[in-house]
Amino acid sequence: MSATQMSASAAATTAAVSPVALAVDPEHERPPARHAYSRLCGLLSKASLILGILCLIGIILSVQIQVIGRYVFNDTPTWAEALALQLVLYVTAFGVAVGVRDAGHIGLDSIISLLPESMRLKLEILIHMLVALFGGIMVQSGMLWTRLKWDELDPMLHLPVGIDYFSLVVAGVLIVMFSIEHIVALLRDEEVVPSWY
């Protein structure tokens, strides 16, 4: 088979496959969102990923210090476990928020993809509005508990207990912002590019 025949065969195969791929997943047609708000959310999402990784490193170090203190020096530092637990809260907060932006949470996309374009768009906007509402409730309840517990000190870390609940506020604010980004992108017929790209 000559090179011309091979390229013609490849072009025919691509032409035959492309309409099927577009019919199954029409979102590939959307251009990436590049407006200022989407760039801001992208930076916040990347910062959240970096902070989450740093918190994970902090958890590993805290647990290692605790293990070495217990089994090598027979003197367990009490702050190490409390710090690890606090960092877990913030890893979760950052991870949940980035999962909302990058569509990493469990969903029923197969049902939505079967709907007509107009209904699918409305349903996707409704989903993101409900997620934003949930994020707003997280902010409100997190602020309430942060204020209530701020004057109470953690006996091991000697820090306000309210810092634990502030992770809800961080996650909630990011969830609201990322949900708004998705709604704007849907209205502009754009696609939110995940943070790791």
**pTM above the 0.85 mark?**
no
What pLDDT score does 3 carry?
Answer: 41
What are the CA-CA distances from residue 100 to residues 22, 68, 114, 146 (Å)? 25, 37, 22, 23
Q: DSSP string spanning 63-83?
A: HHHHHHHHHTSS---HHHHHH
Tens of pLDDT, residue by residue over 8-52, are: 443 433 333 333 333 344 444 777 778 888 889 999 999 999 999
Instruction: Look at 55 and 106; give whichever has higher pLDDT.
Output: 55
Q: Are residues 118 and 47 in contact, defined by beta-carbon separation less than 8 angstroms?
A: no
Distance CA 89, CA 96 (A): 11
Q: Are residues 98 and 195 in contact, defined by beta-carbon separation less than 8 angstroms?
A: yes
Q: DSSP string spanning 154-175?
A: PTTT-SBTHHHHHHHHHHHHHH
Q: Does 87 have pLDDT greater than 90?
A: yes
Q: Give 59's pLDDT tier (boundaries 50, 70, 90).
A: very high
Across the range 41-65, mean pLDDT stands at 94
Tens of pLDDT, residue by residue over 104-151, are: 666 656 667 777 777 888 888 898 999 999 999 999 999 999 999 999
Two tokens at 148? Answer: 């209530």
